[in-house]
Homo-oligomer: A and B are copies of this chain.
Amino acid sequence: MTSNGSASLYLQVARTLQDRIATGAHPIGSLLPTEHMLAEEFGVSRQTVRQAIGHLRGMKLLSARKGVGTRVEANRPQTSYYHTLQSLQDLFQFASDAQYRVTSAEMVSVTGKEAEELGCRPGRRWLRLVGLRELPGPLGADGPLCLTTVMIDGRYADVAATPRVHTRAIFAQIEDRFGVSITEVHQDIEATVVTAEQAALLRVEPGSPALLITRRYFGSGRTLVDLSRNLHPGGRFRYAMTVRREE
């Protein structure tokens, strides 16, 4: 077995197996010898082999199926980086007490390009909200945080059928009210300049830079639940994120 000082027995076994996988003795896609055989070979109990295999399964090097065997999934542990969010609210990057003041709410039948963007057939009905997001009280004196357009699948239109001020995110209201849970969000960030019309609403100069952040919220089965388009004035907002190496 691989020399390994006085580490736990199962870690020694795991290391040995990892070496064999790395050197190609057990190619990707192949089945490992059975736990019983490995236990006999290493002179340890089957539980110790299982502990070793469990360790490597945690590293996504192996996978097991009852009645079949243990399959080699990867050559070596992939060093992945990840970005963690406590909740989807963290995507917003602004205070949770920001208000969404809807100025227009209308039911529309989407057509052509817009239907494609929403991933549905033309003619389907969606609710379109237009409004400004702003901080309450004196904090909002600098002007709105962003100009937000939201498209909501007709099934969930009830959450915002008439214009009003929302203190919770639309997707969160849909989750609570209809029992759907958002499993995936796609976010798209691009740079643009504001038009004269947008500038007046946002209280910035026409032609000044802005971030256009589009978010698509998907429920189970990758169905689009709602889509929001947020236009953030450049000086007032920037998007920050931290990714860390795993472990």
Contact = CB atoms under 8 A, between A and B. Distances in A.
B187 A242 contact: yes
A201 B93 CA distance: 32
A242 B184 contact: yes
A84 B82 contact: yes
A188 B244 contact: no
Contacts of A185: 81, 242-243
Contacts of A207: 193, 207
B193 A208 contact: yes
A86 B186 CA distance: 17
Given A81-B88, A84-B81, A86-B78, A209 B193 contact: yes
Interface stretch (A110-118, A122-130, A233-241): A233-241
Contacts of A190: 211, 234, 237-239
A210 interface: yes
Contact of A240 (B88, B182, B187, B244): B187
Interface string A149-186: 00000000000000000000000000000000111111
A210 B208 CA distance: 11
A211 B186 contact: no
Nearest to A90: B81
A83 interface: yes
A75 to B, nearest CB: 14
Contacts of A141: none
Given A207-B207, A209-B209, A243 B85 contact: yes
6 contacts: A80-B85, A184-B242, A187-B241, A189-B211, A189-B238, A209-B209
Given A85-B243, A183-B245, A184-B243, 11 more contacts: A78-B86, A82-B84, A83-B83, A83-B84, A184-B245, A187-B242, A188-B240, A193-B193, A193-B207, A193-B209, A207-B207
